[in-house]
Amino acid sequence: MDHDSDKRGEDRNSNWAWYLVLTSIIILSVGMFVMNNAIYRLKYPDLISLLHATNYESKGSNRLLEFREVVQPDGTTQRVPTPGKIEVQSPVKSDTTVELSKIRNVQVDDTMVRGEVFKRVLKDGKPQGDGAYVNFRVNKDDNEQTAEELRRALEASNVDWYYADGPSFLDQYGPMLILLGVGLLAIMLVARRMGGVGSPMSFARSRGRLYAQDDISITFEDIAGVDEAVEEVREIVDFLKYPEKYQRLGGRIPKGVLLVGPPGTGKTLLAKAIAGEAGVPFFSLSGSDFVEMFVGVGAARVRDMFQQASAKSPCIIFIDELDALGKSRSGSVVGVHDEREQTLNALLVEMDGFDPNTGIIIIGATNRPETLDPALLRPGRFDRHVLVDRPDKSGRLEILKVHVRNVKLAPEVELDHIAGITSGFSGADLANLVNEAALLAARKNKDLVGQEEFDEAVERVTAGLERKSRVMDEEEKRRVAYHEAAHALVAYSLPNTDPVHKVSIIPRGLAALGYTMQRPAGERFLMTRAELESQMQVLLAGTLAEEIIFSDISTGAQNDLERATAIARSMVMEFGMSRLGRVNYRESGRSPFLGGSDGFASREYSEQTAREIDEEVRRIIDEMAHKARQILIERRQALETVTLRLIEIEVMDAEELARLIDESLPGPRMAVGTREAAPKRSDASEPAAEPSESATPSPRRDAGP
């Protein structure tokens, strides 16, 4: 629907230009056709016959001589006969002829004879109408014999005639120049409307696309899962509808609203809903639309954007990916990114310079607010920040209800269950999930989308596509089964881990030969030291099991080691969970919504401290590996039982895993020496999907050798 609205908004702006081009061509063609048909093309022999017709009878009619009074040079008058008549075959119809007579005003040049002749159409010798004078043209050869013959005929026929220098430039090339001018004008109009080469300054025009009120059908009813953000922006809609309500009290609506949040959470959709609810024009563009190879173009486009918006006020300007335009200027080297800074300066001036009561509201969207320039975020510019975060369980349920409106669901589908196992999913992820489930049902030729398709879609989205073509031999399959069974056993034996949802040794994705899928028992916002240590033990269990069973390790634990090391290093450098004390050694431009780093990190500690950090990370990893090894050795019987069953069925759910482990354990479920960090936040029987940003991602994907 969004894509169709985009196309309508763009096509509507340029269709009128195409209509103008076609209309101009049609009018010009008709005009040229009419003009050419108004000139009678007379053949040269017929012209000579017409000039001699004074001396001969006309075909099909009696000789009828007409006379006229001609003033002689001496002042006397003389009656002379007028030219006679001839009949020629009609070039249009075979059963008609054309009577030509009374030739006059003859103009002769080197290649052509022009003049006027009385033309009347005859059928079976009877006139078809009164006839009329028409212009005629005759092409002739440029030689002395033809010129002498024509001169004698003209002198003998008493016709007024004269020599001319030939057709003028306009007579010869006028129609062609008119056609060329109209074509160029039409092309320039189209190019100017499309931002092309029609105007020398067209590259400085804004690339923003305008959506009229009728083009935006999205309202707040189409948005779910971000109720707090919707309530925050309802005030914007109210101001656009009833501005006098605020102005009479001296209030001022925020000039700019910054929507921040992870990718796919609905920031663009929320901006469109604001315009749809308010019923005002909506300008949409990206931060990269201001970037061009010419210096000063970005600033010119900013000014043009606000000029267009002022003409459409009240309206909304939406700038997506604002961080491409508004990055902080503090860290740039002098002389570098000068063009980007000019564009940013132009935006700052326009936001702080236009009339606050014009009804222009700027909405920006970004998932990297920490990179924006402070001047852009101060009061008077983007002074209101609205968080559009990943939805919680109730929000995910509402989003699923929106996306399944047009999907034929089977009665057994439980949207509440799906919302529970998709923790950490954004609105875009849930839309993709519903679409994947519908595609799976269509692939199976089903009439309804069932719970089975939704469960499989969750697995496809989180773990990747099943690789049926990747067939492992028995020894490799046995190694992968021990690896995944160890992950599941240690996760089941520790109190501070997420419940195991599924264990599989079916290859999926790019490199995963198997995976253990864990789902948090509820919404996670913080993680304790005990939980991080338990996560590392679960991650290290796979490679430790391989070492215990096969006395050798494989490359399948590469992702496990990478994630365990990252957790240990974060504990030492960021969380203060080590012997080095509660000190943060890492300061970087890390985004709270994207994770990772933007490629740079300051190092404000010595080489000795760096060595101590490395040693502390190694110590934590070794300590967690020792604890995980102890669990596997003490519970080897359970490890063997789960592995054999996993080799047999390849995919094991949480219920069967718990049953097999409980039957094989001689003692309590929790491993000896473990401690629980805090009471569980919700019932573990209600699993959820991806953990939040602070939690370790799931599922675990173990690469093959």
Q: Give me the active site residues, please.
A: 484
Question: Nearest Cα to 454, choosing from 467, 440, 466?
Answer: 440
Distance separating alpha carbons of residues 77 and 96, to the nearest angstrom: 40
H runs (alpha helix) in 494-597: 529-550, 558-573
Contacts with 657 (C-beta within 8 Å, 6 or more apart), sequence order: 488, 492, 500, 503, 642
Residue 227: CB atoms within 10 Å = 14
State residue 476 phi and psi, 5-degree precision: -70, -40
Place of tokens 């004078």: 133
Report the 10 Å Cβ neighbour count for 685: 9
CB 677 within 8 A of CB 531: yes
Under DSSP, the state recorded for 300 is: H
CA 38, CA 30: separation in Å to the nearest integer? 12
Give yes or no for a contact between 645 and 652, defined as CB atoms under 8 angstroms apart. Answer: yes
Torsion of CA 486, 489, 491, 495, to 10 degrees: -150
Please tell me whether residue 308 adopts helix, strand or coil conformation. helix
* SS3 state at 675: coil
List CB contacts of 319: < 8 A, sequence separation 6 or more. 285, 286, 287, 325, 362, 363, 364, 365
Going edge to edge, which strands form the sheet with 315-320?
A: 209-211, 282-286, 315-320, 360-366, 256-260, 384-387
3-state secondary structure of 360: strand
Give the whole-angstrom CA distance, residue 500 versus residue 504.
11
What does the CA dihedral 623, 628, 633, 639 come to, rounded to 10 degrees? -170
Closest listed residue to residue 326, CA positions, set 266, 377, 399: 377
